[in-house]
Amino acid sequence: MPCYIEHMPDGGVAFLCGDLGPHCAAEGCGASTGYLCDYPVGDGRTCDLPLCASHAYEVAPEVHYCPGHLVLWQEFRRSGGVQHELENVVPYKGR
Q: Is 52 in the site for Zn ion (CB under 5 A)?
A: yes
Q: Is 53 in the site for Zn ion (CB under 5 A)?
A: no
Q: Is 24 in the site for Zn ion (CB under 5 A)?
A: yes
Q: Are 80 and 87 in contact (CB under 8 A)?
A: no
Choices 12-20, 61-69, 75-83, 85-93 (CB under 5 A): range interacting with Zn ion? 61-69
**How far is residue 13's CA from residue 46's CA, in Å, rounded to a whole number?**
31
Q: Is 36 in the site for Zn ion (CB under 5 A)?
A: no
- Residue 15: which residues within 8 A CB-CB, separation 6 or more? 3, 4, 5, 6
- Binding region for Zn ion (CB under 5 A): 24, 26, 29, 31, 37, 39, 47, 49, 52, 55, 66, 69
